[in-house]
């Protein structure tokens, strides 16, 4: 790899870390952490602040019809841009870095180029996508999915929140991010996302940079069991229509399925609401969420089919209704091999240890991969913690990752 004139350029770590702290004020939780649910007031405040950062960096800012925000740093030629970015919405118990880091590092790259007077051949874009987390509205990665034409805009806008009756469209209008830029077929040369690993692998293997080869498949379902509430003391077991027991046996089935499948199969029941949720009343209703993941498409399909078959069987054996809603259904994605090599080469050129690995978490890059060569760069997560207020990555590791992003974007934008 020839030595480019800009290969000595480095980001300003203090400025990057300061921006991360500043963004963290929006939705800050007492005692640390972030609650910036998609399209909430805190998300609006974080969006407004980030848009201002883009404008202060001389970037042209566009908001599309699903509320994705794209800042553009002009290139010398009007060629398809190189895009980076991630998300600034968080889960309810989020940290400072999930998503935020990739957006702030993108801004830091632009700030570094401006300070050095470097103009790239292609424009460089920094984006943050609507509702990556999928905590309030499903599916996750909604904004980037709509951007690439993977979900009809109207279906996304009509999606209702899990916490109230508001739709995505209502909330975008309420916070002033119902943009006019079209969605469905973005013109992007390539996409590179910098993100914390959110798992323990880099730390365990003492590597500084994760060279991400792809993202595992994700299947989200909601199962609603409807039975008959009754007295816990007077109703014989054989006469019960116990929605709660059906849900919990389903959860146990999922656990056993994961053990049976082995490999990369994962299964999570993150949400379970019982009604009336009283100690001496047989549950009338149970609503549970199911998150199944696998790096292989076939076993993931098989797992989903098995869980659904069991849920329907256990419901009919107990005289209970079972309704299934598919909330997300994403096949595993492989990133562009040349771009993955480019990430690895530039990390090595910076003297950083690397590890090739899949991503356990979903990311916007898996959606951009549908329309352009895409790749990701990971940095370690302390104790693998994420979606947890104690999420942490060492400052120097954050700066290493941003320097890899800088060099990869410079490489891509000067082709």
Residues at the site binding ligand HGY, with contacts judged by CB under 6 A: 132-134, 140, 361-362
Q: How far is the CB of 135 from ligand HGY (least distance, A)?
A: 8
- With respect to Mn ion, which residue has the nearer C-beta, 172 or 409? 409
- With respect to ligand HGY, which residue has the nearer C-beta, 27 or 134? 134
Binding at 362: pick from Mn ion, ligand HGY, none (beta carbon under 5-8 Å per type): ligand HGY
CB count in 10 Å sphere of residue 236: 6
CB burial string 252-272: b at 16+ within 10 A, e below: ebbeebbeebeebbbbebeee
- With respect to Mn ion, which residue has the nearer C-beta, 136 or 240? 136
Give residue 189's Cα distance to chain centre. 22
Give DSSP secondary structure letters for 232-284.
Answer: TTTS-GGG-B-HHHHHHHHHHHHHHHHHHH-TT-EEE---EEEES--TTB--S
Binding at 85: pick from Mn ion, ligand HGY, none (beta carbon under 5-8 Å per type): none
- With respect to ligand HGY, which residue has the nearer C-beta, 64 or 140? 140
- With respect to ligand HGY, which residue has the nearer C-beta, 386 or 412? 386
- With respect to ligand HGY, which residue has the nearer C-beta, 57 or 328? 328
d(CA 15, CA 8) in angstroms, rounded, equals 18
- With respect to ligand HGY, which residue has the nearer C-beta, 313 or 390? 390
Residue 34: strand pairing partners: 28, 94
CB burial string 151-186: b at 16+ within 10 A, e below: bebeebbebebbeeebbbbbbbeebebbbeeebeeb
Q: How far is the CB of 132 from ligand HGY (least distance, A)?
A: 6
Q: Is 98 in the site for Mn ion (CB under 5 A)?
A: yes
Q: Is residue 399 classed as helix, strand or coil in its secondary structure?
A: helix
Binding at 411: pick from ligand HGY, Mn ion, none (beta carbon under 5-8 Å per type): Mn ion
Q: Is 19 in the site for Mn ion (CB under 5 A)?
A: no
> Which of 28, 166, 23 is CA-nearest to residue 86?
23
Binding at 134: pick from ligand HGY, Mn ion, none (beta carbon under 5-8 Å per type): ligand HGY
- With respect to ligand HGY, which residue has the nearer C-beta, 134 or 227? 134
Q: How far is the CB of 365 from Mn ion (least distance, A)?
A: 10
Q: How far is the CB of 369 from ligand HGY (least distance, A)?
A: 15
Positive or negative, the CA dihedral 297, 298, 303, 306 is: positive
Binding at 99: pick from ligand HGY, Mn ion, none (beta carbon under 5-8 Å per type): Mn ion
Q: Is 411 in the site for Mn ion (CB under 5 A)?
A: yes
Q: How far is the CB of 377 from ligand HGY (least distance, A)?
A: 17
Q: How far is the CB of 88 from ligand HGY (least distance, A)?
A: 13
Backbone angles phi, psi at 79, to 5 degrees: -105, 165
Q: How far is the CB of 119 from Mn ion (least distance, A)?
A: 16
Which residue's structure tokens are 């805009």?
153
Q: Is 99 in the site for Mn ion (CB under 5 A)?
A: yes
Cβ 192 vs Cβ 378: under 8 Å = no
Q: Which of residues 228-287 bind Mn ion (CB under 5 A)?
A: none
Q: How far is the CB of 387 from ligand HGY (least distance, A)?
A: 7
Binding at 197: pick from ligand HGY, Mn ion, none (beta carbon under 5-8 Å per type): none
Give DSSP secondary structure letters for 12-80.
Answer: -HHHHHHHHHHHTTTTBPTTS-B---TTSHHHHHHHHHHHHHHHHTT-EEEEBTT--EEEEE--SS--P
Backbone angles phi, psi at 149, to 5 degrees: 85, 20
Task: Point out which residues bind Mn ion (CB under 5 A).
Answer: 98-99, 411
């Amino acid at each position: 790899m020839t030595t480019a004139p800009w290969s000595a350029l480095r980001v300003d770590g203090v400025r990057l870390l300061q921006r991360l702290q500043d963004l963290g004020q929006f939705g800050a939780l007492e005692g640390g952490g972030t609650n910036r649910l998609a399209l909430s007031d805190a998300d609006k405040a974080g969006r407004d602040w980030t848009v201002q950062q883009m404008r202060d960096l001389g970037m042209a800012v566009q908001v599309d019809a699903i509320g994705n925000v794209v800042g553009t740093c002009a290139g010398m030629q009007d060629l398809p841009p190189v895009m980076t970015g991630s998300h600034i919405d968080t889960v309810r118990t989020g940290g400072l870095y999930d998503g935020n880091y990739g957006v702030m590092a993108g801004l830091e790259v632009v700030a570094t180029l401006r300070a050095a007077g470097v103009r790239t051949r292609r424009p460089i874009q920094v984006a943050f996508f609507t509702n990556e987390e999928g905590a309030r509205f499903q599916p996750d990665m909604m904004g980037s999915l709509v951007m690439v034409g993977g979900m009809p805009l109207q279906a996304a806008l009509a999606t209702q929140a899990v916490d109230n009756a508001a739709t995505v469209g209502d909330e975008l209008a309420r916070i002033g991010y119902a943009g006019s830029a079209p969605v469905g077929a973005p013109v992007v040369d390539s996409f590179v996302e910098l993100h914390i690993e959110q798992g323990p692998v880099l730390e365990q293997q003492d590597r500084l940079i994760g060279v991400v080869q792809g993202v595992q498949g994700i299947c989200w379902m909601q199962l609603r069991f409807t039975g008959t509430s009754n007295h816990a003391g007077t109703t014989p077991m054989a006469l019960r229509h116990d929605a709660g027991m059906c849900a919990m046996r389903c959860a146990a089935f999922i656990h056993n399925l994961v053990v049976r499948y082995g490999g990369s199969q994962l299964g999570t029941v993150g949400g379970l609401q019982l009604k009336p949720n009283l100690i001496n009343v047989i549950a009338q209703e149970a609503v549970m969420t199911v998150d199944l993941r696998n790096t292989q498409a076939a076993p993931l399909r098989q797992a989903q089919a098995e869980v659904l078959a069991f849920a329907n069987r256990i419901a009919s054996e107990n005289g209970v209704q079972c309704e299934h809603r598919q909330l997300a259904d994403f096949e595993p994605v492989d990133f562009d091999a040349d771009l993955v090599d480019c990430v690895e080469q530039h990390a090595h050129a910076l003297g950083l240890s690397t590890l090739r690995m899949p991503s356990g978490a979903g990311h916007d890059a898996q959606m951009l991969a549908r329309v352009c060569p895409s790749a990701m760069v990971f940095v370690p997560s302390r104790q693998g913690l994420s979606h947890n207020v104690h999420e942490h990555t060492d400052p120097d590791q954050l700066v290493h990752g941003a320097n890899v992003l800088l060099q990869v974007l410079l490489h891509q934008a000067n082709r």
